[in-house]
Amino acid sequence: MKRETLLHTLAHRDGGYVCRYCKRPLDPTSYNWNNRAGSLTIDHYVPLSAGGSDELDNMVLSCRFCNMDKGAKLPIQWSSERGIKLKKMKPRPSKPRNKESK
């Protein structure tokens, strides 16, 4: 999937270009696919090391600070250490479903 498509898909699914954790607005042009120097990052909600996947339903937009601070921790562990209350991620289809015509 192209970078722009992935970022747009995640932003559309999650309500815009905002950090999943701290809700800080993110600049979609600040993501640098090659060296990841910008403030916008893509995070594995459940880290790969904890059994998470590379599927879209496990990827979220995150600011660099939250992504680096969370590291390989589970969201519940990290948020409780930080005193942050996270909304649970609801399972969502990765692709839009076609509505059937009646």
Q: How do residues 12-42 score in pLDDT, each as one tens digit?
A: 999 999 999 999 999 888 876 555 556 889 9
Tokens encoding 48: 């790969």
User: What's the pLDDT score for residue 34?
Assistant: 54
Identify whether 89 is part of a domain.
no
Identify whether 90 is part of a domain.
no
User: What's the pLDDT score for residue 95?
Assistant: 47
- Looking at residues 63-81, what average pLDDT do you find? 92
Secondary structure of residue 1 in the 3-state scheme: coil
**Beta-carbon contacts of residue 62 (< 8 Å; ≥ 6 apart):** 19, 20, 21, 40, 41, 42, 43, 70
Identify whether 85 is part of a domain.
no
Mean pLDDT (the chain, rounded): 82
Range of the domain at 64: 3-69
Overall domain count for the chain: 1
Identify whether 101 is part of a domain.
no
Identify whether 9 is part of a domain.
yes
